[in-house]
Amino acid sequence: MKNWKYILPERWPFEDNCAPAAWSYGDTLLIFQSTFQQRPILYTTTPETGKLHFYNRWLPLIRDELGPWDPALFHDEDTDRWFMYFGSSNIYPLCGIELDYNRRLTYKSDVKRMIYLYPHVHGWERFGPNHTSNITPFIEGAWMTKNNGKYYLQYGAPGTEYNVYANGTYVGDDPMGPFEYAPNNPVSYKPGGFVNGAGHGNTFKDNYGNYWNTGTPWIAVNWNFERRIAMFPTGFDKDDLMYANTRFGDFPQYIPQSKWNDRNELFTGWMLLSYKKPVIASTVRDTFDAKRITDENPRTFWVAQTNKAGETATIDLQKVYDVKALQINYTDYKSNIYANDESVYIQMKFYASTDHKNWQVIFDNTDKKEDRPNAYIELSQTVKARYIKYENAYVPTPNLAISDIRVFGNGDGQTPSTPANLKVQRHEDPRDATITWDAVPNVVGYNILWGIAPDKLYQTYQIWGDAPTKLELRALSVGIDYYYAIEAFDENGVSKISNVISDKK
């Protein structure tokens, strides 16, 4: 594509660039916006400059209000064919259409309607928090991945604004189908823990051949659709089932330096030390109490009286631990920042102490201008600490607001015992099951693992240790038997996984 003639657009011709398709092909990045009007595919070979050029002038409008909204581009390297998939609606399905490379990626085939939602069969496709709403669910977030000769057409459902937003897939032998529903759906699902939601992303391969599935977890502080970006290790098993591993997906993970063999091997084993631990802040605005910093809820936050340097928040871990990493998550509370200019950066310090008297600096970026609203800070060496103190140096916003400061490391105690008496009762509505277990004293939380076979427990629902030892799981599919296990975790580590049980009657 290096010999293409650059055709410079006179102006950016769009109202916005919402949910665009992007595809990297050789030295070229192709971009196509979500639209219900005629729009061009654009390209660039210098994406760092932000300059885009017309690849084609205008793709024709697709009839029946289909758009193409929320599009995805796909190039099949083995056949040199091009496709577009699209759709974002609770009325219309995901659709696909073949593109003509010889005519600058204009439409080559008719639109084919490919994937509908069936919430009466697939429990996870039901709308609302924990799938409890009768609102017609939404399908969106198309993406295509080819692996081992099979085509995985992925979709997000049932809606952006709750904890159960997830990615599913259908599988076929041709990019235009027919496709069959994958029995282990959803392939990426994270309804519990700090990060909630895993839907509407893509799947890509890193330089070592490892797959990753991205999603957009739910925040909803300033806007119902406010989200962040998450990324989970993804694989394909011996039966060509696609899965993403969200177990401890919001705890520190190693960046792979080779091809991983076991889906859990990237987990560092560094445990959450800060859950519900006491916090003392220098100042507090109104009712935005500092205890919210350790509640593992990104929708609650502490607000200081000022945004000036010197405001502090100190966490008492209540024991001395080996601290290895921190994560701080700022909140845009009444923010007036709408542009990325030279004033948009964050500076802070972290201190550690064993006695609340003698402090050592363990992180300081006050000599840098970094925009790090969700900074993950891995310490260069392990620090013994009971107290972790945050000190503000600079924020660009009118308010200093922090949702969570998360502290990771390890204690020197025994790992928790395995939860006993795990029971599962499938309901009369087979999309639902009630799971119960015996409490393990003083644990931070539990991971409920489940899947369609004892060796395919690909799903995880994380429950905090101070919550009831009971979960109504509403993500199951009619006609499929499931298998379940449970593990407990605390500051010292993770228990052995329980025996696997089945809900077969």
The answer to whether position 278 is within a domain reads yes
Is there a single domain that holds both residue 360 and residue 403? yes
Structural domain span for residue 336: 274-410
What is the residue-wise DSSP string for 330-346? E--TT----S--TT--B
- Report the pLDDT value the prediction gives residue 448, as an integer from 0 to 100: 98
The answer to whether position 11 is within a domain reads no
The answer to whether position 498 is within a domain reads yes
Is there a single domain that holds both residue 406 and residue 434? no
How far is the C-alpha of 236 from the C-alpha of 145, rounded, in Å?
A: 11
Domains held by the chain: number: 2
The answer to whether position 403 is within a domain reads yes
Amino acid at 60: P
How far is the C-alpha of 35 from the C-alpha of 484, rounded, in Å?
A: 43
The answer to whether position 59 is within a domain reads no
Is there a single domain that holds both residue 287 and residue 398? yes
Q: Please, which pLDDT band fits residue 335 given cuts at 50, 70 and 90?
A: confident
Is there a single domain that holds both residue 282 and residue 400? yes
- Report the pLDDT value the prediction gives residue 338, as an integer from 0 to 100: 67
The DSSP call for residue 143 is E
Q: Please, which pLDDT band fits residue 50 given cuts at 50, 70 and 90?
A: confident
The answer to whether position 110 is within a domain reads no
Least-confidence region, from 25-29, 58-62, 168-172: 58-62
Is there a single domain that holds both residue 402 and residue 437? no
Percent of the chain with pLDDT strictly greater than 90? 84
How far is the C-alpha of 101 from the C-alpha of 495, rounded, in Å?
A: 54
C-alpha distance from residue 70 to each of 66, 133, 304 (Å) = 10, 24, 39
Is there a single domain that holds both residue 369 and residue 315? yes
Is there a single domain that holds both residue 341 and residue 316? yes
Q: Is it the case that residue 421 has pLDDT exceeding 70?
A: yes
- Report the pLDDT value the prediction gives residue 7, as an integer from 0 to 100: 44
Q: Name the 3-class secondary structure at 162.
A: coil
Is there a single domain that holds both residue 375 and residue 435? no
Is there a single domain that holds both residue 363 and residue 450? no
CATH code for the domain of 290: 2.60.120.260
Is there a single domain that holds both residue 364 and residue 483? no
The answer to whether position 283 is within a domain reads yes
Radius of gyration of the chain (CA): 24
The tens digit of pLDDT for each residue in 257-306 reads 999 999 999 999 999 999 999 999 999 999 999 999 999 999 999 999 99
Is there a single domain that holds both residue 366 and residue 428? no
Q: Please, which pLDDT band fits residue 14 given cuts at 50, 70 and 90?
A: low
CATH code for the domain of 490: 2.60.40.10
- The residue among 410, 442, 460 that closes a domain is 410
Counts of helices then strands in the chain (DSSP H, E): 0, 33
Please state, rounded to an integer, the average pLDDT across all residues of the chain. Answer: 93
- The residue among 410, 442, 463 that closes a domain is 410
Q: Is it the case that residue 13 has pLDDT exceeding 60?
A: no
Is there a single domain that holds both residue 457 and residue 400? no
- Report the pLDDT value the prediction gives residue 4, as an integer from 0 to 100: 43
Closest CA to 201 of 174, 231, 170, 241: 231
The answer to whether position 321 is within a domain reads yes
- The residue among 410, 435, 452 that closes a domain is 410
